[in-house]
Amino acid sequence: MSVEAQLREQICLLAKSMFDRGLTGGSTGNISARTPDGGLVVSPTGTSFGRLDPARLSRFSPEGRLIEGDPPTKEMPLHAAFYDTRATTGAVVHLHSCHSVALSMLPDADEDNFLPPLTPYGIMKLGKVKLLPYFLPGDPAMGDAVRGLAGRRSAVMLANHGPVVAGKDVEAACNAIEELEDTARLALLTRGLNPRVLSAQEVQRLVTTFDVDWDA
């Protein structure tokens, strides 16, 4: 099996795992990854994470032309913005995960640092998550908003919509976006209970030890 064929299988396997565990439902969410030649494979528009077909994934050339497969997700400008502004990006995942969306709707949500520092892995895998305003689904302005961050964030939260995370590969991106949803769930479960959060010193030690991009 070729490297690209393995990548296609991995995308579908991880997408189905997230779908089966309720992290995104129906035909929501999209996922993309770099191919060995510098192109992209992308989940098609209107498809379910639970039923992706490796052979029908949208395939883009290194120049950005659709060369085979079904029509891609309408969120391509969002994916392209991460690839174009973060050289380390090997994959991008976008979900409509319930707890993170719910947290984005609350009036006191922090736009610059969306997730409270509840666990070490939320810091290590995501750094600071930027909360972006609501956009019409498919609006190219979402990509413009990500480009405006100039590559400083690997994860953003689209208000009333869902998280988007870039990683060095598909597995890393999926692991990180699951951490984002888990942290959002913890934030909601402990809301109003005055939970112990990580101190500034504890956060800084994580940032230093694990080389987290935190000050952007």
Q: Which of 111, 121, 178, 181 is catalytic?
A: 121
Q: Which of 139, 182, 174 is nearest to 158 (CA)?
A: 139
Residue 80's SS3 state is: helix
134 is catalytic: no
Q: Which of 4, 9, 63, 75 is catalytic?
A: 75
DSSP 8-state code for residue 129? P
Which residues lie below 8 Å from residue 144, measured CB to CB, with a gap of 6+? 77, 81
For the chain, what percentages of helix, strand and coil (3-state, to nearest 5) are there?
40, 15, 45
Residue 1's SS3 state is: coil
Which residues lie below 8 Å from residue 108, measured CB to CB, with a gap of 6+? none
Q: Quick check: 184 and 103 in contact, CB under 8 A?
A: yes
Phi, psi of 142 (to 5 degrees): -65, -45
121 is catalytic: yes
Q: Which residues are catalytic?
A: 75, 121
